Amino acid sequence: MMQLFLGIDGGGTGCRAAVAGGDGRIIARAEAGPANIASDPDAAIRNLLAVATDAMKQVVGASAAAELPRLRVVMGLAGANFTPSVARLRAGLPFTALRVETDAFIALKGALRDGDGIVAAVGTGSVFVRQLGGVAHRIGGRGWVLGDEGSGAWLGRALLSACLRAGDGLAEITPLLKSVRAELGGDDGIISFGFSARAVDFANFARRVVGSDDPAAGALMAQAEADIAQYIALLQPNPAVPVVFLGGIGTQIAPHFADRWQIAPALGSGVDGALWLACQIGVEP
Amino acid sequence: MMQLFLGIDGGGTGCRAAVAGGDGRIIARAEAGPANIASDPDAAIRNLLAVATDAMKQVVGASAAAELPRLRVVMGLAGANFTPSVARLRAGLPFTALRVETDAFIALKGALRDGDGIVAAVGTGSVFVRQLGGVAHRIGGRGWVLGDEGSGAWLGRALLSACLRAGDGLAEITPLLKSVRAELGGDDGIISFGFSARAVDFANFARRVVGSDDPAAGALMAQAEADIAQYIALLQPNPAVPVVFLGGIGTQIAPHFADRWQIAPALGSGVDGALWLACQIGVEP
């Protein structure tokens, strides 16, 4: 039977998988629950196995489980660079040819394949990766406590902070600040929300900022875009390479940078990037 | 027997108490363990009772416990404005004449008694209170997640963030940033520290910034002082009133503001403020 390839994008909200033959054309797709290897490695192993088996069933039917070991597999996982769980993951999965990468790396490969460019991934968090002559260099992406400037979590937290400052009289109360203050129950409600909020809880408030014509939202977006521009400018070589914006916020704000850099669409998704890498296994010199 | 007065300053690191007679002169002092009414109200009640009993033993000996109910008592407690535990606290203590205030309020009264002025309390957190014609108005003090600009926690977190940014190449690596990076184990160590750090853990790093001649420390201090100045300027009436700086960072940086405002020393501590308030109980109109 011909060699098959499997790419998986596994993250905190769910896993997506795609299977291809030797020509790289996708012949099956599947989805499953979250794969958070840092916080719940057992559930991650179960869901990664489920998504792989589901995809393979569409190709080989009942023998899917038996066929898994001979696949060539690449999976991109959030936090894969920052957890001792990768060895446990390998031991819990049946694959013999398995490469584990970060979510940022498969997003980069999905967006650019082996081309030169910069990926600015701005969603709940923010991370910036340059690829030049096949060499990837990553900056940012430090989490909301100490970094992730310009991200959804950063914007949401800055919005709540602005609500408190306006309440103190340090800044003008705009309609947006007034409505968020009322929604959360004033100072006490905002402070209490802030102490228990996770990145995604802060990021939910970013929706109120992006694209809003409220003056406070405008000031926060200007700061976020300046931070994002600083990261991209630092990565830009001379001559400059195209920039691909990814993520909920990234794709929305991409046009704002069109006068400064060449903005390119992503060639494909993170799953596409993982699958493209899987097709290289054994081919690389 | 003459009326006695008790003032207590109860905080997350310990309780201090002082007893005075009708002339306000302190005749006994005592200390006990933490009184964190938000996170551990039972221990808070035990320690507040212990510190009161210890102080009273020095005045009336073995009958201390029996004498507690007839004291006039004011206690200042961190978070007293932000917890439903105050009613539980009252029920668990033997005092009949008890007034519970925030730590910021007794600090204000200790610093200014009933005089006009502004208290800038900058330690682990930051809070700013103006007293004018006996009326107090408080701003800031929102905790490190959304506020506390210029505080120790703010400075420490900003230092770690600067370490990450310098590691990415967004800023110059100074000797201070280099040594903190090495100490915490580079990017991964800093990120991991940041995700589990409490306010006091961040504030421990502020010591490396305050008074340092490192250029990165200088930039952070300039930002902190600008934020602190903004809070004070907002509170300043016309004509301006004296400013009292409190807290580990506040007392160190006070001289930097001497060309802008009249800097005054605190008349007394938080315990003094609580005791001064206790002496007013029954005297107030």
- Contact yes or no for A142 and B195 at CB 8 A: no
CB B98 within 8 A of CB B207: no
CA distance B138 to B242: 16
Nearest neighbour of B146 by CB, restricted to A140, A161, A170: A161
Residues of chain A neighbouring B165 (CB-CB closer than 8 A) = 147
Looking at residue B192, its pLDDT comes to 87
Instruction: Bin A61: left if φ > 0, else alpha if -120 < ψ < 50, else beta.
Output: left
Q: How far is A213 from chain B (nearest CA, A)?
A: 23
Helix residue spans in chain B (DSSP H): 41-60, 64-67, 85-92, 103-112, 152-168, 175-184, 186-196, 199-204, 215-235, 248-253, 270-280
Closest-CA residue of B relative to A228 is B170
Looking at residue A285, its pLDDT comes to 45
Chain segment A131-166, per-residue pLDDT in tens:
999 899 999 988 888 989 999 999 999 999 999 999
**By percentage, how much of chain B surpasses pLDDT 90?**
73
- Structure letter (DSSP) for residue A37: T
> What residues pair up with A9 in beta bridges, in sequence order?
A16, A76
- Structure letter (DSSP) for residue B240: -
Q: Which among B92, B91, B121, B94 has a CA at the least distance from the CA of B106?
A: B121
Closest-CA residue of A relative to B232 is A170
Domain range list for chain B: 5-113+267-280, 115-266
Chain segment B229-274, per-residue pLDDT in tens:
999 999 999 999 999 999 999 999 999 999 999 999 999 999 999 9
- The fold for domain A5-113+267-280 equals Nucleotidyltransferase; domain 5 (3.30.420)
Chain segment A227-259, per-residue pLDDT in tens:
999 999 999 999 999 999 999 999 999 999 999
Question: Using beta carbons and an 8 Å cutoff, which residues of B are at the interface with A?
Answer: 82, 139-140, 142-143, 145-147, 157, 160-161, 164-165, 168-170, 187-188, 190-191, 194-195, 197, 230-231, 234
With a threshold of 0.90, tell me whether the complex ipTM lies above it: no
Looking at per-residue pLDDT, the higher value among A86 and A9 belongs to: A9
Domain B115-266 is found in CATH 3.40.50.800: no
Residue A253 burial (CB < 10 Å; 0-12/13-18/19+)? buried
Regions of chain B short of the pLDDT cut 70: 1, 82-83, 282-285
- Structure letter (DSSP) for residue B238: S
Nearest neighbour of B169 by CB, restricted to A142, A169, A234: A234
